[in-house]
Amino acid sequence: MTDHPPGSTDAPTASADATAAAADAATAAADAATSPGDAPTSHLEPSRPHLVLASGSPRRRELLGRLGVAFTIRVPDVDEQPEPDEDPVAYVERLARAKAKAASATATAHPGEVVLAADTTVVLGGTILGKPTDEADARVTLRALSGRTHQVHTGVAVHGPSGMTSSVTTTSVTFRELGRVEIADYVATGDPLDKAGAYGIQGDAGRFVARLDGSLSNVVGLPMAQTAALLAGAGLATVTWGPPRSP
């Protein structure tokens, strides 16, 4: 935004007239350069890069919103199948980077924008547990997780003018022994059907957890501290994250 100079209350002189005319011309040029059609679609401050979340996940959208930055959403089309014998950590990092790259390459991309992408998977005994195909598959997955410790890996990638950065965060989660009835009741809610590992820790399945070692937000789908650090490195330096302060 261009600030307009205050008008003078003194009688105008030739010099003042010339100065005012020059100021009016400069203001008109600035107005033309910042016409409404060129305004950014987000509410970021002009000094900040335009931030894009490359995910349709409502959980990631909510978590990113807690960082206090405005962003738009652009969902890329990426094949999420793991490669043969692919390491789970390498898998989530590869997918996160692929999503960020794909979202950056669309026709709607803006010069100088920063794209954030993530991918989360659940791993039990070295086996990647994807989203269940149906309710029966969800029940099988939850029975396998019952009474055991599994790992949740989330790859986060940030693509901006300076290139691509990424990291992987891992959390260990231990379930208590689960009964068949409570598994069936949970699956009947429909909650596990769109989630890796067939559960959402932020919902009813939170009561299944006996122990958690690591980041809770990582299990939800976006490790906050790591995400804030990656965004800061891409130019969103005001993004911070930490534990709540005592009153």
In contact, 192 and 200? CB cutoff 8 Å:
yes
In contact, 102 and 52? CB cutoff 8 Å:
no
Please pick, among 119, 134, 137, 191, the residue that the annotation labels catalytic.
119
b/e per residue 210-239 (b: at least 16 CB within 10 A): eebeebbbbbbbbbbebbbbbbeebbbeeb
Q: What are phi and psi of 235, to 5 degrees?
A: 115, -10
Nearest to residue 155, comparing CAs of 105, 222, 63, 229?
222
Q: What is the DSSP letter of 55?
A: -
Mention every residue, 6+ apart, whose C-beta is less than 8 A from residue 67: 224, 227, 228, 231, 239, 240, 241
204 is catalytic: no
Between CA 80 and CA 169 the distance in angstroms is 19
Q: What are phi and psi of 78, to 5 degrees?
A: -130, 135
In contact, 158 and 98? CB cutoff 8 Å:
no
User: Hey, what are 119's tokens?
Assistant: 């991918």
Residues across the chain: 247
Between CA 227 and CA 64 the distance in angstroms is 9
Positions marked catalytic? 119
